[in-house]
Homo-oligomer: A and B are copies of this chain.
Amino acid sequence: MKNKLLCDIGNTNFSFSNGTKVSVENFDITSIHEKIYYISVNAYWEKRLSMEENWINIRSFIDFSKYYESMGIDRIMVCEALANAVVIDAGSAITVDVIKNEKHEGGYIYPGLAAMAKCFKDISPALEVSFNFDIDLDKMPKNTQDALSYGALAPLLSNLREITQDLPVLLTGGDAPRFLPLIPNAKIDNDLVFKGMKKILEKTKEKQC
């Protein structure tokens, strides 16, 4: 188990469990001969790798009845990794998933920070600002930069306060460090996808024994 090489294929990178990251443009399939267990949200690469004997798609091991149709496989892996948690994956989109007693209770999608900034800019050039993460969210904003920063952050945080209750909050994704100081008791865990993949593989092994 310990030595299995895992790979999480996104729209921009191949991320390996040994820490290697290769951009999808630069990835050379002939460079790897060992067995690799992977998930992919990248349709092109998922199809391409299905022709390679040493690339094993974890998709076939998943009990999809636990999740909703069209839910990203990376999000499913994160849920597989946990028993009770609210997981916030702050990437190009922000996904918020609630897991109770190893069951996925549901989740939602919110714009990522860069997407939100672009969204404001697209509404009007006057709304193009960089967000202020040091803003006091207990006060109503009194300038445009703070008004947009509050709009990007405070509604999401208000909703998290309502839904989190006593569940631990785990942050992952590129913008996790931005949100860490804003959410009481939250922790960053960037290995959730690989943890979920390992758990799926362990379960599959058990069944096969």
Please report A residues at the B interface, Cβ cutoff 8 Å.
Answer: 11, 68-71, 92-93, 95-96, 98, 105-112, 115-116, 118-120, 122-124, 126-127, 139-144, 146-148, 150-151, 154-156, 158-159, 161-163
The closest CB in chain B to the CB of A69 belongs to B143
Which 5 pairs between the two chains have the least Cβ-Cβ distance?
Answer: A106-B140, A155-B155, A119-B119, A158-B158, A158-B159
**By the criterion CB–CB under 8 Å, are B122 and A115 in contact?**
yes
CB contact between A109 and one of B118, B120, B122, B142 (< 8 Å): that residue: B120
A151 to B140 alpha-carbon distance, docked (Å)? 22
Taking the full assembly, how many copies of this chain does it contain? 2
A144 to B95 alpha-carbon distance, docked (Å)? 11
**By the criterion CB–CB under 8 Å, are B93 and A154 in contact?**
no
**By the criterion CB–CB under 8 Å, are B159 and A108 in contact?**
no
Question: Known contacts A118-B122, A154-B159; is A147 also within 8 Å of B108 by CB?
Answer: yes
A159 to B92 alpha-carbon distance, docked (Å)? 23
- With both chains docked as a complex, state the minimum distance between the C-beta of A160 and any C-beta of chain B, in angstroms: 8
**By the criterion CB–CB under 8 Å, are B116 and A111 in contact?**
yes
A69 to B147 alpha-carbon distance, docked (Å)? 12
**By the criterion CB–CB under 8 Å, are A92 and B151 in contact?**
no
A180 to B67 alpha-carbon distance, docked (Å)? 32
- With both chains docked as a complex, state the minimum distance between the C-beta of A120 and any C-beta of chain B, in angstroms: 7
**By the criterion CB–CB under 8 Å, are B108 and A70 in contact?**
no
CB contact between A111 and one of B69, B70, B123, B139 (< 8 Å): that residue: B123
A158 to B68 alpha-carbon distance, docked (Å)? 24
The closest CB in chain B to the CB of A119 belongs to B119
- With both chains docked as a complex, state the minimum distance between the C-beta of A157 and any C-beta of chain B, in angstroms: 8
- With both chains docked as a complex, state the minimum distance between the C-beta of A32 and any C-beta of chain B, in angstroms: 27
**By the criterion CB–CB under 8 Å, are B107 and A140 in contact?**
yes
Question: Known contacts A93-B123, A120-B93, A124-B93; is A106 also within 8 Å of B142 by CB?
Answer: yes
A136 to B16 alpha-carbon distance, docked (Å)? 39
- With both chains docked as a complex, state the minimum distance between the C-beta of A108 and any C-beta of chain B, in angstroms: 4
A98 to B120 alpha-carbon distance, docked (Å)? 21
